[in-house]
Structure 1
Amino acid sequence: MRRKLPSTQTLACFEAAARHRSLTRAAQELALTQGAVSRQLGQLEEFLGVKLFKRAQHGIALTPAGDDYARKVQLRLDAIERDALDLMGRQGQGESVTLAAVPTFATRWLIPRLARLAREQPDLNVHIAARTRPFLFAENEFDGAIYAGTPQQLEQWAGTHATLLLQEEVAPVCSPALLKGGQPVTPRALANLPLLQQSTRPDAWRDWFTAQSVEAPKAMAGPRYELFSMQVAAASCGMGVALVPTLLIQGELAAKTLVPACESGAIARRAYYLVQPEQPERAAVTVFRKWLLKEAGRP
């Protein structure tokens, strides 16, 4: 049976015009004339029997139907492009796993270990994209995600199941230059030092001071960074105290560019999990999951 599919050229024109809200800019991106793009859009609307665009004061605007279709088309075109690049990279050989991961964990824990996987499974490619928050697997082409969170947060991630990898222990660290004599301070004294905040964990410092039974009115004050790697860089430069997972800063602790800022106070609130969609697991994903558990010291 013949599929009801527009051509990829037509969809590319539509996606570019929808993204730019301009026929001229879409034509420039695709190396086509404005007239050619306009004809493609007209053919698409005729094919679908739905109005996708309307004229606006500056260029064009999407109709509600067009806006909804544009989001879906962009996801599909992105997936087709990734599949093509994956096949080109593998030259038709081997299999691949596409993984979403919290960035600092990926760069500091996972990627340094992938050389061992490459030696054990030379035909398996692992593609990694950065994600700091939960997402819908149905709208993304990921086989799994490495996520740092609590069991309660994982329960709210619909349509998934999670496998525990590593427990996380966070502790306050800073540059030795920030401490008098380079010596750790008490939790109460720490409350008076500049605190570096994690935008994805806005309550982290408040929770830490609560665990130490210390009042800290400024626990949520200070510059915010999205990634732990940004916090680590800021702390290493003496900008303040960072509250970070110790497993991510082993190099800095060994080199003493970062030192414990407090006499005590490492706490465990979250863990790192491999999160997967509730669907049959491909053989390549099974191989990667078993290797990942072995690296994490899990049976």
Structure 2
Amino acid sequence: MNPRRLTPSMSLLVAFEAASRHCSFTKAAEELALTQSAVSRQVQTLEAQLEIQLFRREGRKIELTAAGALYQHELTAALGRIRSATLQTISYKNDGGPLNLAVLPTLGSKWLLPRMHEFYAKHPAILVHIHSRIIREDIQSSTQDMNAIICAGSGEWPGYISHKLLTEKLVVVASPAALPEYRSMSPANVAEHALLNVVSRPSAWSDWFDRHNIDHTNMRSGPSFEFTAHLIQAVSAGIGIGLVPEILVQDELKSGDLVALFEPMDSDRSYYLVYATRYQHLPSLNAFSTWLLSLPFPDK
């Protein structure tokens, strides 16, 4: 097959993508600063080159064919990657440019965001677009449209570069107002209370009981929460006892809204800054990584 047929010109592809997104040659023309007839001709040229109809035309109304819808789906993703690559390349010009960063929701709001003013003070030309995401151990799906992520895990992700930030420590917390006897509690007493957990870590309490050699068959399971922030709020409201990363309750422990019942326990996870190897020379990521790793973490 002729390679030219498989690689249409960018102008034809951009015209088709805009028209397919709007289902209108007129709106696509307005977006691309072209005439309606110019966009229509480019789409017709593309259809002739591919030898397949991409739109059904009924008067002024257009609608994607099944082939056109499939082509749009694949092409939109491909053009998005091209635009992203172009933007990243342009950012090399002045060591600035944006950085798309995914962060665990509670870690982002309670730990990262309060410190971001320090980064902007050093790098005012770099914009960090922060996206809150529940990031699983399989991080590929969470990094497809991101330059980097801050997540918890083992640190072993083939094809990615990871920088350890700190070891996660889990601490049992309670509201002193709802649990005035907290000072005299033993680990065994924990089973007498409603135990709150995050849905992404269903075995956290069982692991804690095992570490303390306590039979956990009589545990009182309390409500589950998608976000650790919501669990912390529930503990503060006296709904139950929580087992949470110590780094996420520093403010509450300092203010006295929550109390730590026992010494923190090392979990099997640590927090990492992670990014694909293709981004390792991105100026905005290098600047952010250098700043992040310079922060005074309590334990690496």
Normalising by structure 2, we get a TM-score of: 0.71
Q: Distance in 1 between matches of 2:95 and 2:283?
A: 15
Q: How far apart, CA to CA, are the structure 2 residues paired with 1:218 and 1:79?
A: 56
Question: Is contact 2:165–2:272 with CA below 8 Å preserved after alignment?
Answer: yes
Partner residue, 1:148: 152
* 1:46-61 map, 5 Å: none
Inter-CA distance 52–7: structure 2 relative to 1 (3 Å threshold) = closer
Question: 1:3-24: CA deviations, max 9, x gaps?
Answer: 544554643554578xxxxx9x
Deviation at 1:272, TM superposition (A): 0.7
Give yes or no for the alignment of 1:136 onto 2:140: yes
Q: Which one of 115, 119, 122 corresponds to residue 121 of structure 2?
A: 119
- 1:1-299 to 2 correspondences below 5 Å: 3-5=8-10, 6-8=12-14, 10-12=16-18, 14-15=20-21, 66=69, 70=73, 73=76, 76-77=79-80, 94-133=96-135, 134-136=138-140, 140-150=144-154, 154-155=155-156, 157-183=157-183, 185-217=185-217, 221-260=221-260, 262-264=261-263, 266-279=265-278, 280-297=280-297
Distance 1:45 1:217, change over 3 A: farther
Please identify which structure carries the higher strand content. Answer: 2
Check conservation: 2:17, 2:72, Cα contact below 8 A.
no
| Identity between Structure 1 and Structure 2 (%) | 27
Bigger mean CA deviation after superposition, 233-242 or 279-288: 279-288
Partner of 1:20: none
1:223 maps to amino acid: P
- Which residue number corresponds to residue 35 of structure 2? none
Structure 1 residue 293 displacement after superposition? 0.4
The one-letter amino acid of 1:163's match is H
- Offset, 1:229: 0.8
Gaps of 5+ in 2: 25-30, 32-39, 57-62
CA contact (8 A) 2:192 2:219 kept: no
Cα distance in 2 for residues equivalent to 1:104 and 1:142: 18
**Structure 1 residues 285, 211: closer, same or farther in 2, change over 3 A?**
same
The answer to which of 157-166 and 43-52 deviates more is: 43-52
Describe the shift of the 1:191–1:71 C-alpha distance in structure 2 as closer, same or farther (beyond 3 A): farther
Distance of aligned partners of 1:188 and 1:50 in 2 relative to their CA distance in 1, 3 Å threshold: farther
- Matched residue type, 1:70: H
Contact 2:166 2:270 in 1 (8 A): yes
Q: How far apart in 2 are the matches of 1:271 and 1:132?
A: 15
How far apart are residue 277 of structure 1 and its match?
Answer: 0.4
Seen in structure 2, the aligned counterparts of structure 1 residues 221 and 45 have a Cα distance that, compared at 3 Å, is farther
The Cα of 1:283 is off from its aligned counterpart by 2.2
Per the alignment, do residues 286 and 239 of structure 1 end up closer, same or farther by CA in structure 2, a change over 3 Å counting?
A: same
Distance 1:247 1:140 in 2: 28
The answer to whether the Cα contact below 8 Å between 1:100 and 1:129 also exists between their aligned partners in 2 is yes
Q: CA deviation at 1:122?
A: 1.7
The AA in structure 1 aligned to 2:211 is A
Q: CA offsets, 1:88-135, max 9 Å, x none?
A: xxxx99422221111111111111111111111222221111122243
Shift of 1:249: 1.0
Conserved in 2, the CA contact under 8 Å of 1:101 and 1:146? Answer: yes
SS at match of 2:151: strand
Structure exhibiting the larger radius of gyration computed from Cα positions: 2
Q: How big is the shift at 1:269?
A: 2.5
Q: Would the aligned equivalents of 1:225 and 1:231 in 2 still touch at CA under 8 Å? A: yes
Contact 1:98 1:126 in 2 (8 A): yes
Could you tell me which amino acid in structure 2 is paired with residue 231 of structure 1?
A: L
Deviation at 1:194, TM superposition (A): 0.8
Cα offsets for 1:141-176 (capped at 9, x unmatched): 3221101112xxx42x34212111111111111212
Evaluate the alpha carbon distance shift between residue 236 and residue 68 of structure 1 in structure 2; reply closer, same or farther with a 3 A threshold.
Answer: farther
Q: Which 5+ residue runs of structure 1 have no aligned equivalent?
A: 18-22, 24-29, 31-38, 55-59
